[in-house]
Amino acid sequence: MAKLKNTMDVFKLLEKTNCRKCNKPTCLAFAAAVFQGRIALSECPFIGEDILKEYGSKKLEYESTFEQDYIKVMGQLKDRIKKIDLESRAQKLGGKFLNGRLTLKIFGKDFSIDANGEISTDIHVNPWIVPPVLNYVLSSKGISLTGSWVPFRELETSRDWARFFEHQCIGAFKQVADTNPFFFKDIMELFNGRPVQNHYAADISLIIYPLPLLPMLICYNHPEEGLKSDLNLFFDSTADKNLPIENIYTLSTGLANMFKKLAKTHG
Ligand code: SF4
């Protein structure tokens, strides 16, 4: 029987209409519940017999915790790092190589990796940052930036992720920007945000660099008479050549969730 490895694997099998006939608010919530073994795939009435035959109609046994998965993934990434030449990757990735370490600027701060995949850095090492950085070292094509900004949904490989991104990332950023007056100040101070002028006629435009070849442009318009506020994120058109799309998603949503937490701290 085929194995469902994560929530996204389940989600790909669904109609994605959010019709709620399974008593879950969205298909994504249903997919997460299936992956965690709380309900069976067969509880979505639109799943065909062929799919149930392939993946099974009973509840999955939830085999591992997030921590266990994370440790496993990190071990695999470090093993792959051991096999590559960090020095030759450094220049391609917009980094430096010194004393056996590849150093990249992550949000403007040093993040170093040695030949065993061990990390030293000035930034707080959040779980949502490290796997994307190691994947960047392993798989970035090192393509120079074009300066052409596109929304996430226009990146070539974004198809399966675009709707999640709209909700989990842009929605979260917008909610924080609308309610927290410190939002843009925090981006500037904590993440080395740089203001830019006249991008898409936005009231506020900032660029941050989660990775050297992965800049992110945040544009925000304040609400005005009769018009709601508006927030958009843009990436260089090369983004998914320099980092796999799932890692762009992870980085962006990790950042959005961090801002939600910061907003709570600010009260
Ligand atoms: S019933 Fe199926 S299609 Fe409808 S919301 Fe649930 S998972 Fe999505």
φ, ψ for residue 102, nearest 5 deg? -90, 125
Query: How far does the centroid of ligand 1 lie from the alpha carbon of residue 49, in Å?
Result: 16
Is residue 66 over pLDDT 70? no
Residues of the chain with CATH 1.10.15.40: 7-55
Residue 67: predicted pLDDT: 67
pTM surpassing 0.85?
no
The topology under which CATH files domain 7-55 is: 3-methyladenine DNA Glycosylase II; Chain A, domain 3 (1.10.15)
Long-range CB contacts (within 8 A, 24+) of 234-237: 234/149, 234/150, 234/151, 235/149, 235/150, 235/151, 235/152, 235/155, 236/145, 236/146, 236/147, 236/148, 236/149, 236/150, 237/146, 237/148, 237/149, 237/150, 237/154, 237/155
Task: Decide whether any atom of ligand 1 lies within 6 Å of the 30 Cβ.
Answer: yes
- Region 207-218: what's the mean pLDDT? 94
Q: What is the mean pLDDT of residues 217-233?
A: 89
Judge whether residue 113 has pLDDT over 90: yes
User: Whole-number mean pLDDT of the chain?
Assistant: 88
As a whole number, mean pLDDT of residues 140-151 equals 95
Rounded to whole angstroms, the Cα distance separating 194 from 80 reads 34
Q: Whose CA is nearest to atom 3 of ligand 1?
A: 15
pLDDT value at 62 more than 80: no
Residue 198's pLDDT band, with cuts at 50, 70 and 90, is low
Mean local confidence (pLDDT), 187-199: 80
53 pocket-lining for ligand 1 (C-beta < 6 Å):
no
Residue with the smallest CA separation from ligand 1 atom 4 is 19
CA 69 to ligand 1 centroid distance, Å: 27
Pocket flag, ligand 1, residue 14 (CB < 6 Å): yes
Structure confidence at residue 264 (pLDDT): 74
Given a contact cutoff of 8 angstroms between Cβ atoms, the answer to whether 203 and 221 are in contact is yes
List pLDDT tens digits, range 37-61. Answer: 889 999 999 999 999 999 988 887 7
